[in-house]
């Protein structure tokens, strides 16, 4: 089953599970959009878990993370000395790049 077919199945399931009485109060297109947005969110969550996050140390001793954040270690150590393994922002495995 392709992703598109799965989505259509899910949409149908959601729509048929809505009783005709409820249908008077909701817009089916809105319901379809909600399902589609939920699927996208699920997808993002599923992919973000397995990815790595590249951390690059800049000239100010601040790490710029791949997920567009910054992290500064305020003592002398670096990421490896602190045994950081996962990005505190996105949860990806930290990969220090130079």
| Residue matched to tokens 């969110």 | 41
By the 8 A CB rule, do 91 and 66 touch?
no
Which C-beta is closer to Zn ion: that of 13 or that of 56? 56
3-state secondary structure at position 29: helix
- Show the tokens assigned to 36: 């589609």
Least distance to Zn ion from the beta carbon of 90, Å?
3
Cα 68 from chain centroid (whole Å):
14
Which C-beta is closer to Zn ion: that of 35 or that of 92? 92
94 binds Zn ion (CB under 5 A): no
- Show the tokens assigned to 42: 């699920």
Binding mask 42-71 for Zn ion (x = CB under 5 A): -----------x-----------x-x----
Q: Give me the residues that bind Zn ion (CB under 5 A), please.
A: 53, 65, 67, 87, 89-90, 92
């Amino acid at each position: 089953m392709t992703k598109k077919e799965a989505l259509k199945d899910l949409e149908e399931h959601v729509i048929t599970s809505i009783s005709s009485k409820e249908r008077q109060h909701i817009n089916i297109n809105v319901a379809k959009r909600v399902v589609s947005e939920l699927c996208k969110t699920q997808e993002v969550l599923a992919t973000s878990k397995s990815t790595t996050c590249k951390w690059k140390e800049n000239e100010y001793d601040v790490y710029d993370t791949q997920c567009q954040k910054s992290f500064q270690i305020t003592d002398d150590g670096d990421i490896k000395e602190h045994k950081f393994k996962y990005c505190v922002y996105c949860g990806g495995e930290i990969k220090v790049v130079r």
